[in-house]
Structure 1
Amino acid sequence: MRKFGPPKGKETLVQFLLKYKFQFIVSSVAGIFYNTVIVLGPIFLGKLIDAAAGGTTELVLLSALYFVGVTSFFQFARFIKRWYMRDQFNHVACDLRQTLLDRILGYKLPELEKETVGDLMSRTVGDITLVVDTVMSTINEGWDTWLLMLSYFGVLLYMDWKITLLASLLVPGTLLLAHMMRNVLYRYSLSSRQSASIAHTGLQRYLSAISVLRLFGREEAEKSTIMEAYEQQVKWNIKQILLQQSLLPVYALIAGLGVVIVIGMGGENVRTGMWTVGTFNAYMVMFIAFSGRTRVAAKVFNRWHGAKAAWQRIKEKMILDKNEKIADTDTFDLRNTDQLKVSHLDFSYGSKEVLRDICFEVKAGEIVGITGAVGSGKSTLINALLGLYPYEGDILINSRQLSDIADSQRNNMIGYSGHEQFLFSMNIEENIIFGLEYKNPELKDTLTTAALVEDIERFDDGLKTGVGEKGLKVSGGQRQRISMARAIYKKPAILLLDDPFSALDIATEQRVIKRLKEDFKDQIVILSSHRLSAFENVDKIIVLEKGSILEAGTHNQLMSRRGLYYEIYQAQKFMKEGSAHE
């Protein structure tokens, strides 16, 4: 069971907070104790002053003991409040990040491919940190400011309601001014967060393509673009901070004007004997604390308006409408796939139509080759058969629509190796097994099928040889065959290979096809390639042209028709013979 994730029901910020009710209740109770008992501090301090001015030693010691005891109690309550509050918000931050990550990884590929790593990192780290810190600060100040202000205000009214009401007249003005600044601060914060996303995206792109940028002399140009984005972020941050900081003295001045009234009217109470010096001191300490917290409350208002922009950016990526995953409760058995039927398949990338009215059938035990000129739609057809993109028409597996199959079952059923092979920074064995159970006989068969045995023997560490970041420590052909071995090892019902032989010699290519025919007698294999020598021994060949099927049949049938397949085959044969003579 996962420890972190979204709350049940609505995924509002409040629900994320209420997921941890125990921490919230404990911190709230401790906050109530702290911010109510704290008013006793100035009162007992005043009594201590009065006792020191004319009381007995016993009275001074007793007053001091009361003062220390009360202070120790409310400071302990403050510690408990902050401990459990921090624990709650650490969990909330993890929940928000896990939920955001789940939503993003749950996008359909067309949506996911629109995202950039830099922007997602900015939202996942920067925006969530800002929101969590702001909400924690707001709740913390809810106890340390609002409850404390109410506590002080109640005691001040009890001590002298006239002075309290007159001296507090300007306090609402501070909060009104803070409220008036909300739109400006929201705009500054949103612009800052957007600039941060642009800068992070540029930095990630720069680091990923550093070698290309240097070779083409574009390093400085890319740097300047990134720096410009960071400068924009700094500019908006400075504007936001300057506005917030410039308002603080104004808040303090407005809230502090009441001190003048307290000194004047309170001093009169001391002169007439209504108050002692200790009482005046206690009132003054509490009123200064009361008016000072008004400034803090206004500051929290301003910070909250800034964090709203970050929360808006987080919610944009947590919308469930984009996540169209099928629930993994499907019991459809796909272990024995007898037939793959494609009927009137249309496929587009956005508004660009790539495939039109594709129709063919494949039975278990057959190997089907897909070929055509560059840009004819070979890789797109393989992508459509993966089920990761939306399509129109029918892709039926055992009469079941591919788009209706649960993700987990589809992933177990289909094996794939693309023409852009991606290897993880692990060793060869880990890249091939890739989270599946280690089975030595199956692994040996896989290495043989993928023509990797001799390569593994040449490595000092064999299967434990690290491939480096993105497989940079192995050759292109080895990278291609390791990727193919990963798809073969899972023994899928349908094996899709996109241009798997581009970095292989013809002899190795023929060995791989022969092994595929032997090892996948009960499965379906579909491979695309521009090298037609790979198709002499496959069961069926589909020739694409401009996204439609131009020809289909066996190698011999297509050669006898003398169409596009025949022309390409003859041209490649001529090029091969010419190279041999050289």
Structure 2
Amino acid sequence: MKELRYLNKYFKKYWFKLLIGIIITIIARVFSLVLPPYVNKSIRAVEGYVASGSGDLSAVKGELLEYILIILGAALLSGFFTFLMRQTIINVSRYIEYDLKNEIYDHYQRLNLGFYKQNRTGDLMNRISEDVNQVRLYCGPAIMYSIQTLTLFFCLVPIMFIKAPTLALYTLLPLPILSVLIYRISRVIHKRSTIVQQFLSTLSTFTQESFSGISVIKAYGLEPKTNANLQTLAIEGKDKSMDLARVNAWFSPLMILLIGISNIFVIYIGGKQYIDGQIESMGIIAEFIIYVNMLTWPVAVVGWLTSIVQRAEASQKRINEFLHVQPEIKNEIDKDTPIAGRIEFKNVTFTYPDTNITALRNISFTVKEGETVAFIGRIGSGKSTILDLVARLYDINSGELLIDGMPIKKLNLKNLRGAIGAVPQDAFLFSDTISNNIRFGKENASMEEIVTMAKKAVVHENITGFTKGYDTVLGERGITLSGGQKQRVSIARALLKDPQIYLFDDCLSAVDTETEEEILNNLKQASKNKTTLIVSHRVSSAKNADKIIVLEDGQILQEGTHDQLVGREGYYKELYQHQLSEN
């Protein structure tokens, strides 16, 4: 259970509620122990009346009524405390589930982009949902039923030996055998539980990718193949789950068998002792039968608890694997560091850690505060990488990246990203209303501000054309909108944020020329006195920039204004002439 030690901090956090829950659990079980002795006393009272042949019947009835009322009262109190027990211990498990999910999610958000390139979304989702649920069962039901079981054993076993040592010895004889069997089976359960949990991640990943890529599947007519792949995975998952179920299936029959043997011992040995005069009343046999049946659930639940603990151990191990991954991008400064917008690259080299591709090679340039710089170049030349480094989604390998004259690592990461409005080429929109997607740039924005920015992004007319307008709920990843509409909604989001630095990563690639020109004019006004970096394949998006940098294989090939570069032979002039002829 070494992996489950990670949860000790949560048990410490909620120790008082757990302590109250444990005390209530013990009280509930103690009240349930009132039943057997009074059943014994009731039988003794009847035996005494029958043996005397001329006893006071009304006195016996009164005695029996008293015992019945005591039994009923104890049962009601036991039930009441059982209710309180669930309201404490089970609630604590939900609190721990809440805290653990938040911790995992917060950790996910701190991890760098390379982590998400190496791990699938379905696996990440499964660990924060299915795995956490398995851990919750350990933190709640497993603890609750363990306390119940221990309380009954510590109370019942001494009572049974005090009242009839020989009978108690035979009654409890099957329990050591049960312990050995549980130990052997639990080891197999742990191994197979891990396999099942790992496979659930594979299945979640496949279904998540299938749903996200449903348009591609339909376009290529791949439904039969996808169904066949899912069926193969489902059969494999069924086989793994059946392997686990076969082991779990041994528990209940073994419990029932061993409890049945204990009952046989009680009846046979107890009856023999009664005949031989070693015990005074048949009431003791009835009392022991009740004790055995009271032990039935605790003994039977041992198998279930073992299964829960083993599955929780396997799940927590999977959770810990990610929680122990240290984020490569760390906020090393606690104090606020206001951002003005001056950006400087000094001999910067960067290689992607996951692919080992060197995207930038010893490049240097400066972007003054309030200046607009455009980056032009072929695919893979390093344009988008520059924007990623400015947003500190990655850290450089060598050289210096300065913001306002300070090394980027010495800036408060929250302040840095709070000062950036980024619009990626592949615009991501959430499955929410259009207004909330734009408001993502400024949480407390009014509807008037949202509409104003949508007009600047030239998407207002498209939005009002929908039946519900700005209240239209988008499909996953904004699938309801066209590529150009998604890009313009993302631009409106960035404009609404009103940051110090704008990062536009080929964000007009899906927009027609006329709309592009209108948006660029609006962006020029909105980004006045704001540092703006534009990545584009179109000269039309870059020509109005204060400076244009042409990249080739991670190095600066050309640098200058539009007029300067058009007047020189090179890549930019060729691109300009080519795109001019197309228009």
Letter in 1 for 2:244: Q
**2:501 pairs with one of 490, 494, 501:** 494
C-alpha change, 1:429 and 1:124, in structure 2 (3 Å) is: closer
Which string of whole-angstrom CA distances, capped at 9 and with x for unpartnered residues, describes residues 59-90 of structure 1?
A: 22222222222232223222221232222222
Name the counterpart of 1:476: 483
CA displacement at 1:151 relative to structure 2: 0.9
Tell me which residue corresponds to 1:542.
Answer: 549
TM-score for the superposition, normalised by structure 1? 0.89
Please state if 1:188 is matched with 2:168: no
Alignment partner of 2:348 out of 345, 348, 367: 345
CA distance in 1, matches of 2:454, 2:215: 32
CA distance in 2, matches of 1:296, 1:436: 50
Distance 2:123 2:175 in 1: 41
Q: Is the 8 A contact 1:355 1:547 kept in 2?
A: yes
How far the C-alpha of 1:251 sits from its partner, in A, is 4.1
1:167 shift after superposition: 4.0
Question: What is residue 13 of structure 1 aligned with on the other side?
Answer: 7
Structure 2: distance between partners of 1:459 and 1:170: 72
Given candidates 233, 246, 252, the residue that maps to 2:250 is 246
Deviations 1:251-308 (A, max 9, x none): 4434554444433432233123332111222123214434663343244224422332
2:389 aligned with 1:384: yes
Give the equivalent residue in structure 2 for 1:263: 267
Q: Which residue is 2:107 aligned to?
A: 103
Moved more, 437-446 or 282-291: 437-446
Which residue of structure 1 lines up, in the alignment, with residue 52 of structure 2? none
- Cα distance in 1 for residues equivalent to 2:533 and 2:296: 76
Instruction: State the partner residue of 2:24.
Output: 30
Report the TM-score, using the length of structure 2 for normalisation: 0.89
Matched residues in 1 for 2:329 and 2:45: separation?
Answer: 73
The alpha-carbon deviation at position 58 of structure 1 amounts to 2.1
Could you say which residue in structure 2 is the equivalent of 1:127?
131
Q: Which residue number corresponds to residue 40 of structure 2?
A: 46
| Aligned amino acid, residue 49 of structure 1 | I
Contact 1:185–1:305 (CA under 8 A) maintained in structure 2: yes
Q: Does 2:90 correspond to 1:86?
A: yes
CA distance in 2 between counterparts of 1:35 and 1:427 reads: 53
Given the superposition, is the C-alpha separation of residues 328 and 42 from structure 1 closer, same or farther in structure 2, using an over 3 Å criterion?
A: farther
Aligned residue number for residue 425 of structure 2: 419
Provide the secondary structure at the position in 2 that maps to 1:549.
strand
CA distance, structure 2, for counterparts of residue 250 and residue 428 of structure 1:
59
Q: Residues 447 and 259 from structure 1, CA distance in 2 versus in 1: closer, same or farther, beyond 3 angstroms?
A: closer
Q: Which 10-residue stretch deviates more, 375-384 or 493-502? A: 375-384
- Equivalent runs, 1:66-465 vs 2, <5 Å: 66-254=70-258, 256-273=260-277, 274-290=279-295, 293-319=298-324, 321-322=326-327, 324-326=329-331, 329-334=334-339, 336-337=340-341, 339-349=342-352, 350=354, 351-392=356-397, 393-434=399-440, 435-438=442-445, 446-447=453-454, 449-452=456-459, 463=470
Give distance in 1, aligned partners of 2:256 and 2:471: 66
Q: Secondary structure at the match of 2:253?
A: helix
* RMSD over aligned Cα atoms: 2.7
Which is further off, 173-182 or 251-260?
A: 251-260
Determine if contact 1:423/1:431 at 8 Å carries over to the other structure.
Answer: yes
* CA distance in structure 1 between the partners assigned to 2:465 and 2:133 by the alignment: 49
- Tell me if the contact between 2:92 and 2:140 (Cα under 8 Å) persists in the aligned partners: no
Q: Deviations over 1:530-559 (max 9, x none)?
A: 111333322111111112211111222222
- Whether the aligned pair in 2 keeps the contact of 1:196 and 1:229 (CA below 8 Å) is no
> How much does 1:231 deviate?
2.1
| Partner-residue secondary structure (3-state), 2:63 | helix
User: Structure 2: any 5+ residue segments left out of the alignment?
Assistant: 50-59
Specify the SS of the correspondent of 1:149: helix
Paired positions, count:
565
Q: In the aligned structure 1, how far is the partner of 2:556 from the partner of 2:231?
A: 49
- Bigger mean CA deviation after superposition, 474-483 or 525-534: 474-483
Q: Distance in 1 between matches of 2:479 and 2:331?
A: 36
Give the whole-Å Cα distance in 2 for the aligned partners of 1:127 and 1:525: 44
Alignment partner of 1:570 out of 539, 557, 577? 577
SS at match of 1:513: helix
Structure 1 distance, partners of 2:292, 2:448, is: 81
* Bigger Cα displacement from structure 2, 453-462 vs 550-559: 453-462
In structure 2, the CA distance between the partners of 1:78 and 1:453, relative to structure 1 (3 Å rule), is: closer
How big is the shift at 1:483?
1.4
Q: Which amino acid aligns with 1:275?
A: E
Distance (Å, rounded) in 1 between the aligned partners of 2:297 and 2:372: 79
- Taking the aligned partners of 1:252 and 1:460, their CA distance within structure 2 comes to 63
Measure, in 1, the Cα distance between the counterparts of 2:575 and 2:86: 74
Find the aligned partners of 1:20 and 1:297 in 2 and give their Cα distance. 25
Moved more, 518-527 or 443-452: 443-452
- The alpha-carbon distance between structure 1 residues 67 and 110, as it changes in their structure 2 partners (threshold 3 A), is same
Distance in 2 (alpha carbons) for counterparts of 1:440 and 1:42: 70
- CA drift of 1:570 comes to 1.9
- 8 Å contact kept, 1:540–1:552: yes
Higher mean displacement: 412-421 or 307-316: 307-316
Matched residues in 2 for 1:148 and 1:198: separation?
42
In structure 2, how many angstroms separate the alpha carbons of the residues matched to 1:458 and 1:282? 79
- Taking the TM superposition and a 5 Å limit, the aligned residue runs for 1:497-536 are 497-536=504-543
CA distance in 1, matches of 2:475, 2:65: 73
Return 322-331 or 476-485, whichever deviates more: 322-331
Change (3 A) 1:430 1:162: closer
Are 2:90 and 2:141, in contact at CA under 8 Å, matched by a contact in 1? no
Deviations, residues 14-35 of structure 1 (Å, cap 9, x unaligned): 3323422343222211211122
8 Å contact from structure 1 (residues 425, 467) kept in 2:
yes
Is 1:542–1:551's contact at 8 Å kept on the other side of the alignment? yes
Identify which range, 26-35 or 245-254, moves more after superposition: 245-254
Q: Secondary structure at the match of 2:118?
A: coil
Could you tell me how far apart the structure 2 residues matched to 1:132 and 1:68 are? 34
SS across alignment from 1:308: helix
SS in 1 for 2:249: helix
2:380 and 2:502 map into 1 onto residues whose CA distance is 22
What is the percentage of aligned positions where both structures have the same residue?
A: 28
Contact persistence 1:377–1:544 (CA under 8 A): yes
1:495 deviates by 0.6
Looking at structure 2, the residues matched to 459 and 402 of structure 1 have their Cα atoms a distance apart, in angstroms, of 43
Worse overlay, 461-470 or 282-291: 461-470
